[in-house]
Copies of this chain bind each other. A is one copy, B any other.
């Protein structure tokens, strides 16, 4: 009894399963989308054949910390090396995984549509982009991933109201209209053009590259991030259209 207490204090508790999952957002075909992978179809494991967020067990031999574990999983699935990556939170309970008490550390990533090379051949699991409508996708997901995806979507929308996060969803160089469209795709509502431009330009976040992109109409100025790998900008107010 005494012995067990001492031993427990030293960390000899039954250990929960520890995983990391990544909610990878991007814009595909003008829609906010999330990357999902198909779970193995052999009936041994949990949720065979069901779509799930990419993720898996922490590999204590390879992963220095949780974030590099998330980076590794992102790289394995998409080939992307330096996305915007933010911790979303953790979900842990006795019931979320049929194999036992488990806790997952969830990150969310924003990547532009360019430069993504989905790993689908060989041993890699099938991976596809799903359009996000409302707070989730139309497919049933494994584990509690529906709830996690809803939380990620809410967090993304909330932050897009007052931050520059969508710059990570467009490729450089981009026009202000490109960026505005990214905002509108995530928020699922139109944004006023003049207010949008004032806000972004006065933030000093982007700088004109001096070049223009011509199409059928008036050519548009091209912009880049003023500082590569800079932290996102926080604006002092949310976008909040007047209720008529």
Contacts and interface: CB of A to CB of B under 8 A. Distances in A.
A127 to B, nearest CB: 17
A57 B92 CA distance: 13
A90 B97 CA distance: 19
B15 A92 contact: no
Interface residues of A, number: 40
Contacts of A9: 40, 45
A66 B94 contact: no
A60 B105 contact: no
A139 interface: no
A15 B63 CA distance: 13
A10 B44 contact: yes
Contact of A99 (B11, B57, B240): B11
Interface of A: 6, 8-11, 13-18, 40, 44-45, 57-61, 63-66, 87, 89-94, 97, 99-101, 103, 105, 236-238, 240
